[in-house]
Structure 1
Amino acid sequence: MTATALVCAVSALIVPGAAGVAYAAPLEPRPKPGADRSLEEVRKEIDGLYRKAEAATDAYNAARSASEKQSRQIVRIAKDIVEAQKRMDRLKNQAGALARAQYRAGSLPDEAQLLLKNEPEDFFRGADLARKGQQATKGLMTALARTQRDLDGYARSANEQWRKLEENRKKKAAAKKEIKDRLADAKKVESRLAKEELERLRELEDEAARKAQARWLGSGVLDEIGGRASKQGKKAIAFATKQIGKDYVWGAEGPDTYDCSGLTSQAWLAAGRAIPRTSQEQWRQLPRVDIEDMRPGDLIIYHDDASHVGMYVGDGAIVHAPRPGRQVTLAGAGSMRILGVVRPDK
């Protein structure tokens, strides 16, 4: 199914005023039995908890990526150390052989050797060889010192990478705990609701998204967007929309489950462009474009902390992995607070 067809299929859900679509009056929050809070307040609390879990997921993904990079760097340093140590051993063997040769040849001054020589030409020939020997010795000692400096540098680099690895291990563990705590809190709140209240909660979520999308479209922004997807952008869209229906799992990047930035990073990787793993790094590192210049394939970054990302597919819609308990889906591009837009292939 093409991205355009997919968008058309859900346009009745995400574009207010679509032909032949009637909208019910906004659902009014209903007090939860035995509680002082309305269901709308519960919805906002749950949404906030999932938002915190998503921000922690971004931190977890960043720490994991950094740890993997540092682990690879440590392996490279270890290989460099092995090679430098082999070079050091060879140089030491050469130095030992040279020292033994000089010892056997003795160390008489040049003048004394001249007096003991029958022919002056022999002395000068020997003196020339001695100078070359001294130069070789000096070169050997320089190579030994340089190799030792290399070894010392590798050791310092390895220690630094181990330190960073440990720091990121702690960050990853803390982020993982934060994710689990916030998800547990959300589940706890949801567990207090009856089945019909959970259904109404989902309706309230959808209603909030529709209202946000309507406001976004009402601004006339869609009239300004006219860019066509690039060749790579089309490939990224094809990959992302093919994942529709797969579960959101924090920290996942396919092939069966995804989180928000796992989906976008893998989609663009499938299109031949490697981009940062997390939504925050996608926002920080990728070229930014104005919303009115947005084209399908671009990534929309959401919330002030850049903790969510979706891929624009055209006609005011995105494909994204929403949150735990939901599946990869199409949604209104303006259904959440937009921070900005980035273009991986700019």
Structure 2
Amino acid sequence: MEDDLDLDTAGAQTPLETEEPELERLLAPGVAPGEGFIVLAATPIGNMGDATTRLITWLGTADVVAAEDTRRLHRLVTSLDITVTGRIVSYHEHNEAAKTPELLAQVQDGKIVLMVTDAGMPSVSDPGFRLVEAAVAAGVRVTAAPGPSAVLTALALSGLPTDRFCFEGFLPRKSGERAARLHDLATEKRTMVFFEAPHRLEAMLRALHTAFGPARAGAVCRELTKTYEEVIRKPLSGLLEWAEAADIRGEIAIVVAGAPDADPGTPEDHVAAVNELIGQGMRLKEAVAVIAHDVHVSKRELYSAVLAARA
């Protein structure tokens, strides 16, 4: 809850009306006056109306703005009618190693460093992790101004279970490596969220179809929060058929249902497993309890099946 941002009561100042040190403490609670820190700020994934008040404030007040793409940053601040007063630094996957010590030095000198990427939250399938990792190791404070997330937006719109999920990002581009990764995920029971480029979507869906089967439920979420937002919810066979015929453009997130629970079979199918444990020295009741728990069958029915097999 950010109740401290809602101070518009009689005679009280809002955070935007306070002196700058007080503003820093309100937007980054627990920060001592003059203490440098890093802010990870989420940027809109499409619709500029999703820019948060904290993002707007930090863009206009941070001492240093580290941006994944300075041209995208310029378009963002122009759209939001913001003037960046701090120094702008290019910070992306190709210069993270070189730029990270420089940014940490700025923080240790008492500066506020704002980290933004092209869309969404820094360090989530975007630059930023290396900076956070180094900051933690150096004892530098890191905070976040959360906001739009393509992962959570796609998950929420997919119509698939949201109680347990995992984010897998981009799959390997090489077909063999991609197949190996999907083989490892074939029994994953949590809902899975992936990213993919539009020109590789058909190949990816074909790989998902092969690894998970045609009936597995999925959703392709395209251009989230933008004018031409589209969510296609179909089994993987239907999604592949759609991709083969569609002219696919824009940013893509794919959500796939987790693996269904395996068919436990009949109690008779597991008699041999019980007898194997008994042969290892386990008592009948203990062996039945172990196997019944592992394969999700009734202990009573499995016990009866073992006795019937001995008759």
Q: Which has the higher helix share?
A: 1
Q: Is the structural similarity TM-score above 0.5?
A: no
TM-score, with normalisation over the residues of structure 1? 0.21
**Higher relative contact order by CA 8 Å / sep ≥ 6: 1 or 2?**
1
CA radius of gyration, larger in: 1
Q: Which has the higher strand share?
A: 2
TM-score, with normalisation over the residues of structure 2? 0.23
